[in-house]
Amino acid sequence: MKEIMDIVRDKKLEDGRSLNFLVSDLVDVADYALHLVKRDVTYDERYASIHSWIGEIKKRMLKLGDDGAEMEPESNMRSSENVDDDKYVVGLEEDVKMLLPRRIIGGEGYFNWTVLIKGMCGIGKTTLARVIYNHPNVVKHFDRRAWVCNSTHFTIKELLLKLIQQVVPENLHTSSLLENMDNQSLRDMLCQHLRGMRYFIVLDDLPKQMHLNSFLEALPRVDESRLLLTSHITHTDIFVRNENVHQMKPLDHKQSWQLFLKTINHGNKLTGEHEFPKSLEHMAKQMLRKCDGLPLAIKEVRKQLLEKKLTGGSEWEQLLESVDFGSTLKLLESFYHKLNPELESCFLCMAFFKENTTLRKEKLIQIWVAGGAGSEYDCQRSLDGLVNESAIQVKDKSTEYHLNALLHMLSIQKAEEKLGFDILKNNNGNNRTSKSPRQHCVIISSRDKFNYSTDQDKHLESLFFHGGGYLDTSPSYWKNFEKLKILDLEDFGLKILLESIGTLVQLIYLGLRNNYIKVLPVSLGCLENLEVLDIAQNFMVEMPDIIWKMRNLRHLYMSDVICPKRLKIDELLFLETLTYVSVDNWTYELSGLKIMSSFLDKLGIEKLDGNSDVSKLFVSLAVLKSLKHLILRGYRFRSMPCLDELRILHKLKTLKLDGLLARLPTNLPPNIESLTLIDSCLDEDPMPLLGKLLKLRFLKLRNSYTGQQMVILPNGFCHLEVLCIEELWNLRNVQVGEGEMRFLKKLEIHDCPYMDTLPKAICSMFSMNEIKMVTTKNIAAKIKNPDLISKIAIVNINP
């Protein structure tokens, strides 16, 4: 309070309107703090709850100008709160179908009061909210509607004022009367006029730093009322069920083209003879791919093209070639500046990866750790934070992510400014104007001869190779990288790895996945600081007796490795991940395994067949106290041996069996939470046995059963949340009794060509939120039964 009074004393304000609003919010902070004290909340919890709130108010007061108004760049201000000003709407039909009957008008109950439309800047959150707000069924259903477009400098008092002006009759208030009222009086007035009413309130572009606890007190919780939020984050002050979070997706290629044509040919000053020519459709679509389905980018491209056409009169072909995404990136900068500071460095590192690539969770975290972003725990939190901020999107697999192409461009731009980052094409990049040392570099190489400089930056810490495949370098090339910690050549098409790689003694991460390497050089054993070695998907690569020399290795990824000598894995004391090691190369020395047991968390063993001694294998695995995730893979088309002894691995949480099985193990480990069966080709229905796993939450079956019917027995799968069925070519139906699988949230069915009905019991599964099905066109049309799926939030049934 003393600090804030000092700030106020230094201001010579003429109007002071914004200051009055801020002081009103400050009173709310004091009331909230007193409330926490009365509830006996601990000091640490109190401090965490109010510290950021007070900090925001202080910052806002420091930004006040001489007239009492807040100073903010005009480019960051929202220009309009008119909810009818969107002319071009494309690709929102399915979104409206998901939200309107199931979450806005339907889905009654206390926990369905709030609905969130979430996504990155410019993806269409506000447009979707406007379509819903003006929908005839919404106008008819609700007694009161209100729309507030927020901004980063909104106060709670301003929010209350704007709502009251829309829901309270004009004859009951005046602007001056309302502005002189304190927040509590405004809350009472708003609550009084909403009580007993079905109201629909939209808070558009909700900023994350806005503390809404005191505002929410003004809204009576009426079952059929709704509070719709649009934001790039899940706001901590407002509880929203996961089922009520609608994640916006980019437009597909067809929708992007429709939006482009709508905006380029309508509502502009061009006459019909200047409409976009059909002959350039292919060229324009290629250009639109760079927009990656982002409506904001498509509209910016349209604006740029029309301005150039009107002023310069150039041909369309020339205009398409000159499209610059700089204006779009400038608009996205506000999104970048909204990121929490601890997420910024991780976002900048996204510049290292290829555009439109699938990003694996494990690789992201390991590269961030190697780059000094923190521990694996810290980087996991950063990854979750980037997802929550809509900076990256989770793909269908929960361990895979996608970065929007425009955000990728932005990460490159900012990394060049802040990280000493550079992109070189075929290593021809010596025209760099920056005087700061190059610390991070991406080399885009063609299949032509690789040109390299002998004058490399000795400060380089990370080096990524994209494209090419041809890498003809002398030993002196690698000797220049004295501080290199990260070297990634994944998907590069590399055939030979030179012995000189062993000179990179500071290397922490070495990515060689998916290449054509036949022999690993002996010099790799010199990399004593290496923590991650990824040589997976190099078919039949020969590995010399070097692994045991890498004393600090924590993550080792292999597949189909030829080993002239035993790998001596038991000498890697800090190993946490090992996939895949041949069953013949696995170590069975119990003394060595006991030393490894403190860290080894994930293990993949391959080439199991009828001759494998699995009894001996499982006895050795039982020694590993930290082992939680196990993958067993069969050898080509041979059947795996009997796996009944898996039951002794009591601590397993995740199990994946990949290969032919004569039958399922009679007693699987009791604590399994995630189970995947691939290419098992079982003759007997696996569901009665799998249903007995009391802790199972995720089950995936891919080409694992040859029968026509699966039956869920009573009390089976009592905690199952996700069921994925893929490539069960003979399956016709799944029988589920009433009340069974009551906690199932998500059902996925892919490539089951004879399954033309859904279990009727899904309509009684109160947790069911999503059904995804890829099937034939006829079955897709037949299976969309409104009575069966009307209450499910996300339904995606497509051929």
In the three-class reduction of DSSP (H, G, I as helix; E, B as strand; rest coil), residue 424 is classed as strand
* CA gap 182, 187 in Å, rounded: 9
* CA gap 388, 406 in Å, rounded: 18
* CA gap 387, 677 in Å, rounded: 29
Among 315-319, 755-759, 790-794, the range with the most confident prediction by mean pLDDT is 755-759
In the three-class reduction of DSSP (H, G, I as helix; E, B as strand; rest coil), residue 516 is classed as coil
Distance between first and last Cα of the chain: 63
Decide: 346 and 368 in contact? Cβ < 8 Å: yes
* CA gap 512, 518 in Å, rounded: 12
Question: What is the residue whose two structure tokens read 């100073």?
Answer: 71
Counting Cα atoms < 13 Å in the Cβ hemisphere of 206 gives: 28
According to DSSP, residue 499 is labeled: G
Residue 13 pLDDT > 60, yes or no?
no
Q: What number is the average pLDDT over the span 502-531?
A: 94
Decide: 85 and 259 in contact? Cβ < 8 Å: no
pTM of the predicted structure, to 2 decimals: 0.88
Among 268-272, 431-435, 655-659, the range with the most confident prediction by mean pLDDT is 655-659
* CA gap 49, 214 in Å, rounded: 13
Whether the ω angle into residue 580 lies within 30 degrees of 0, i.e. cis, is: yes
Map 570-618 to HEC letters.
HHCCCCCEEEEEECCCCCCCHHHHHHHCCCCCEEEEEEECCCCCHHHHH
Decide: 528 and 502 in contact? Cβ < 8 Å: no
* CA gap 642, 661 in Å, rounded: 8
- What is the Cα 203 distance to its own chain's centre? 24
* CA gap 204, 147 in Å, rounded: 7
Return the structure tokens found at 132. 């819903």
Q: What integer pLDDT is reported at residue 75 of this predicted model?
A: 37
Decide: 21 and 157 in contact? Cβ < 8 Å: yes
Q: Tell me what the pLDDT averaged over the chain comes to.
A: 85
Decide: 543 and 558 in contact? Cβ < 8 Å: yes
Instruction: For residue 312, give every residue at least 6 positions away whose Cβ sits within 8 Å of its Cβ, in sequence order, or none.
Output: none
DSSP code per residue over 632-681? EEE-TTSPPPP-GGGGG-TT--EEEEES--SS--SS--TT--EEEEES--
Q: What integer pLDDT is reported at residue 398 of this predicted model?
A: 79
Q: What is the pLDDT of residues 517-563, one digit of tens each?
A: 999 999 999 999 999 999 999 988 999 999 999 999 999 999 989 98
Decide: 49 and 32 in contact? Cβ < 8 Å: yes
Residue 245 pLDDT > 50, yes or no?
yes
Q: What integer pLDDT is reported at residue 453 of this predicted model?
A: 60
Q: Where are the alpha helices (DSSP H) in 12-92?
A: 17-38, 43-62
Instruction: For residue 48, give every residue at least 6 positions away whose Cβ sits within 8 Å of its Cβ, in sequence order, or none.
Output: none
Residues of the chain with pLDDT > 70, as a percent, come to 86
Residue 156 pLDDT > 90, yes or no?
no
Question: What is the residue whose two structure tokens read 């990280």?
Answer: 419
Decide: 475 and 453 in contact? Cβ < 8 Å: no
Among 232-241, 669-678, 712-721, 773-782, the range with the most confident prediction by mean pLDDT is 669-678
According to DSSP, residue 145 is labeled: E
Q: What is the pLDDT of residues 19-40, one digit of tens each?
A: 777 778 888 878 877 777 777 6
* CA gap 368, 488 in Å, rounded: 13
Residue 76 pLDDT > 50, yes or no?
no
Q: What integer pLDDT is reported at residue 20 of this predicted model?
A: 76
Residue 108 pLDDT > 70, yes or no?
no
Q: What integer pLDDT is reported at residue 48 of this predicted model?
A: 63
Return the structure tokens found at 568. 């001596």
Q: What integer pLDDT is reported at residue 609 of this predicted model?
A: 93
Q: Where are the alpha helices (DSSP H) in 389-499?
A: 405-418, 475-479
Question: What is the residue whose two structure tokens read 């696995």?
Answer: 586
In the three-class reduction of DSSP (H, G, I as helix; E, B as strand; rest coil), residue 71 is classed as coil
* CA gap 542, 517 in Å, rounded: 9
Backbone torsions φ then ψ of 60, nearest 5 degrees: -65, -40
Q: Where are the alpha helices (DSSP H) in 349-395?
A: 361-370, 376-388
According to DSSP, residue 705 is labeled: B
Counting Cα atoms < 13 Å in the Cβ hemisphere of 398 gives: 4
